Amino acid sequence: MRQRIAMLPVAQLVAVLCGLAPAGLTAPTAKATVIVTNARVYTVNAKRPWADAVAIGGDRILAVGSREAIDAFRNENTRVIDAHGRLVLPGFTDSHFHLIEGSRALTQVDLNGTASITEVQQRVKKFAAAHPDASWITGRGWSYDIFGEAALPDKKYLDEVVTDRPVYLVGYDGHTSWVNSKAMAVAGITRDTPDPPNGWIVRDAKGEPSGALKEDADDLVGSRVHATREEQLAALRLGLRQANQAGLVRVICLGNSIPLVDDGSNLELYDELLRKGELTLRLYVSSYEGPPTLTKDEIAAVVQAKQTYHGDWLAAGAAKFYLDGVIESHTAAMLTPYSDDPKQLGSLRWDEGEYKRAVAELDRRGIQVFTHAIGDRAVRLALDAYEAAARTNDTHDMRHRIEHIETITAQDIPRFGKLGVIASYQPLHAEPNDDTLKVWARNAGPDRASRGWTWQSVARTGGRLAFGSDWPVVTLSPWYGVQNAVTRQTLDGKPEGGWLPQERVSLEQAIEGYTLGAAFSGHRETTEGSLEEGKLADLIVLDQDLFKVAPSAIHKTKVLLTMVGGKVVYQSPEMAVGSAQ
């Protein structure tokens, strides 16, 4: 390539190097800082889905095309990344992420994948022994099915392994906590402690707190666990590294479910990393708005956050609402009673009128709203609120989102497309494991369970899908999510043909859900989500070609290289990267 430039007429060479080439000149006027070549590039650009190479100048894509066309952007300073024929995709966006909690969890007892109470006890015991100076033993990731019929934890199992220090273990979904007797003593929880609003201290037959804290009762203990700023920054650095390693270039952070630090200080932490040049993941951060009412201060704070942070790396100014809980613990709000317990309907955390008023107030100010809604009643209320706000305020294209949408009535499915409401799903939540098929499906009952996570029905009726993980609820690796989105099967292939197979999506749809669809859900599709000229240079190189491997092998995907804004932020040792020679 150097030779070709040297053979250009001097005038044209000067023009090229100085960026002064006259309009209409076919030779590229800009030179690439980086070229990714010899690749199978799936662009997620419908006009040109496939290419061999990408030219990058600074943090932007200069061109996507054939090897020859992209070679023309090369000069002696261009770094050339040879992908060796591997699949290159736009970097992935996780549309529903809890960066603070997930990063903190990396420094705690990891209970993900524990199959029995004994296994939890072993991990807690081992962690306690390895961390004799830790004043709290905290952990995350246990699941309800290890408790059998009871489906709820008990303090006695933790008291068997740790008595000298408080133990605080958050369930995999973040909606129930499991504590030992010492933790309850530290928090002052006794049989006389009343349930807090939107929270339940689970009690045994004699009225004694059993060690399970549902929903906001978690705060009684959780609010006593603190980390220093340095500990938080150290945890965040771990989280950023893991995210980049999994192929993530942006995450959309949903308001905290655990009050570790308030949202204001979260933004300060992110900003500190940005200023130090350590932020390697683009962030769009929402603030949590709690019931019973949206206050003037909360409105001012979210508007201020949007004005302060609106860059490509760090943006804020969306509002997150929790409308209900989860189906496993009967806290998701249903239109008709739970099938396993007809006395329960779940409940809304917000008064319907107050929630609608809050949504309209934010919509009027241009603030995007994310609403957690899992039961069919909560999903309907969120759709109603968004519809009413758009009508009252005459707003358009706000792209308010509903998070999770685990159950839905048939008549509400087409409303996503009709109203332009984003369906924010976490495909791995629908993995047909024991928790889903035994606890979730039993509670929901056969009719509602037949409309569990209706991805394809929402898409077919014009709804836009945004995919994510809800990390640390499940792994942050999107490849497990992509696999479940296309198979709806467990890793060992069950059930045959997939659970509710009509709701599976194609591989292209799954990739779009984590790229262009996710970008659209955060108003970023003009600069992110596909590999196109002018967009940000965020891309990944994979070790296997998703379009060629069996769907059951997608979860094994390894990311070999992650680039954000033209800079390599993660590179596997397996990826030999050459430079311009």
Q: How far is the CB of 277 from Zn ion (least distance, A)?
A: 29
Interface stretch with Zn ion, choices 66-74, 138-146, 156-164, 467-475 (CB under 5 A): 467-475
Q: How far is the CB of 557 from Zn ion (least distance, A)?
A: 24
Cα distances from 219 to residues 21, 28, 41, 224, 253, in angstroms, run 63, 58, 47, 8, 20
| 497 CB burial (10 A radius; 0-12, 13-18, 19+) | exposed
The residues, any chain, with a CB within 8 Å of residue 141's CB and separated by 6 or more, are 105, 110, 111, 112, 113, 114, 170, 171, 172, 472
Interface stretch with Zn ion, choices 2-10, 254-262, 290-298, 325-333 (CB under 5 A): 254-262
Q: Which is nearer to Zn ion, 168 or 321 (CB)?
A: 321
Q: Which is nearer to Zn ion, 174 or 452 (CB)?
A: 174
Q: How far is the CB of 121 from Zn ion (least distance, A)?
A: 27
Q: How far is the CB of 497 from Zn ion (least distance, A)?
A: 30
Interface stretch with Zn ion, choices 37-45, 250-258, 288-296, 436-444 (CB under 5 A): 250-258
- Tell me phi and psi for residue 330, to 5 degrees: 60, 25
**What span, in angstroms and rounded, lies between the C-alpha atoms of 268 and 287?**
13
- Tell me phi and psi for residue 149, to 5 degrees: -55, -40
Question: What's the sign of the alpha-carbon dihedral 386, 387, 393, 399?
Answer: positive
**What span, in angstroms and rounded, lies between the C-alpha atoms of 44 and 54?**
14
What angle is formed at CA 248 by the lines to CA 54 and CA 245, rounded to 5 degrees? Answer: 95
Q: How far is the CB of 123 from Zn ion (least distance, A)?
A: 24
Interface stretch with Zn ion, choices 231-239, 276-284, 468-476, 502-510 (CB under 5 A): 468-476
How far from each other are the two terminal CA atoms of the chain, in whole angstroms?
A: 10
Q: How far is the CB of 174 from Zn ion (least distance, A)?
A: 7
Q: Which is nearer to Zn ion, 80 or 281 (CB)?
A: 281
Query: Rounded to the nearest 10 degrees, what angle do helices 296-308 and 352-364 cross at?
Result: 30
Q: How far is the CB of 210 from Zn ion (least distance, A)?
A: 26
Q: How far is the CB of 429 from Zn ion (least distance, A)?
A: 10
Q: What is the CA radius of gyration of the chain?
A: 25
**Which residues within the stretch 526-545 sit at the binding site for Zn ion (CB under 5 A)?**
none
Q: Which is nearer to Zn ion, 254 or 536 (CB)?
A: 254
Q: How far is the CB of 254 from Zn ion (least distance, A)?
A: 5
Q: Tell me, rounded to whole angstroms, the distance of Cα 225 from its chain centroid.
A: 24
Q: Which of 71, 218, 324, 470 binds Zn ion (CB under 5 A)?
A: 470
Interface stretch with Zn ion, choices 24-32, 193-201, 390-398, 464-472 (CB under 5 A): 464-472
**What span, in angstroms and rounded, lies between the C-alpha atoms of 3 and 12?**
15
Q: Which is nearer to Zn ion, 254 or 316 (CB)?
A: 254
**Which residues within the stretch 127-166 sit at the binding site for Zn ion (CB under 5 A)?**
none
Q: Which is nearer to Zn ion, 331 or 571 (CB)?
A: 331
Q: Which is nearer to Zn ion, 470 or 532 (CB)?
A: 470
Q: How far is the CB of 96 from Zn ion (least distance, A)?
A: 5
Contact by Cβ (8 Å): 575, 245: no
Taking alpha carbons only, the member of 51, 19, 54, 56 closest to residue 34 is: 56
Q: Which is nearer to Zn ion, 90 or 468 (CB)?
A: 468
**What span, in angstroms and rounded, lies between the C-alpha atoms of 371 and 359?**
10
Contact by Cβ (8 Å): 416, 464: yes
Interface stretch with Zn ion, choices 42-50, 247-255, 379-387, 456-464 (CB under 5 A): 247-255
Q: How far is the CB of 421 from Zn ion (least distance, A)?
A: 18
Q: Which is nearer to Zn ion, 211 or 346 (CB)?
A: 346
Q: Which is nearer to Zn ion, 72 or 235 (CB)?
A: 235
Mark 415-454 with x for binding to Zn ion (rule: CB under 5 A) and - for no binding: ----------------------------------------
Residue nearest to Zn ion (CB): 470
**What span, in angstroms and rounded, lies between the C-alpha atoms of 34 and 54?**
8
Q: Which is nearer to Zn ion, 470 or 512 (CB)?
A: 470
Q: Which is nearer to Zn ion, 106 or 580 (CB)?
A: 106
- Extract the runs of DSSP E, i.e. beta strands, from 380-511: 401-404, 422-425, 465-467
**What span, in angstroms and rounded, lies between the C-alpha atoms of 407 and 380?**
10
Interface stretch with Zn ion, choices 85-93, 408-416, 463-471, 508-516 (CB under 5 A): 463-471
Q: How far is the CB of 407 from Zn ion (least distance, A)?
A: 17
Walk across the sheet containing 53-57 and list its strands. Answer: 60-65, 53-57, 34-37, 79-82
- Extract the runs of DSSP E, i.e. beta strands, from 367-414: 368-373, 401-404
Q: How far is the CB of 175 from Zn ion (least distance, A)?
A: 10
Q: Which is nearer to Zn ion, 123 or 250 (CB)?
A: 250
512 binds Zn ion per the rule CB under 5 A: no
Q: Which is nearer to Zn ion, 42 or 144 (CB)?
A: 144
Contact by Cβ (8 Å): 416, 401: no
Q: Which is nearer to Zn ion, 140 or 182 (CB)?
A: 140
Size of the site for Zn ion (CB under 5 A): 2
Pseudo-torsion of CA 423, 425, 431, 432, nearest 10°? -30
Contact by Cβ (8 Å): 462, 417: yes
As given in the structure block, the two tokens for residue 41 are: 């590039």
Q: How far is the CB of 473 from Zn ion (least distance, A)?
A: 6
Query: Rounded to the nearest 10 degrees, what angle do helices 229-245 and 263-275 cross at?
Result: 70
Taking alpha carbons only, the member of 471, 463, 371 closest to residue 93 is: 471
Q: How far is the CB of 291 from Zn ion (least distance, A)?
A: 17
Interface stretch with Zn ion, choices 286-294, 324-332, 352-360, 470-478 (CB under 5 A): 470-478
State the residues that interact with Zn ion by CB under 5 A: 254, 470
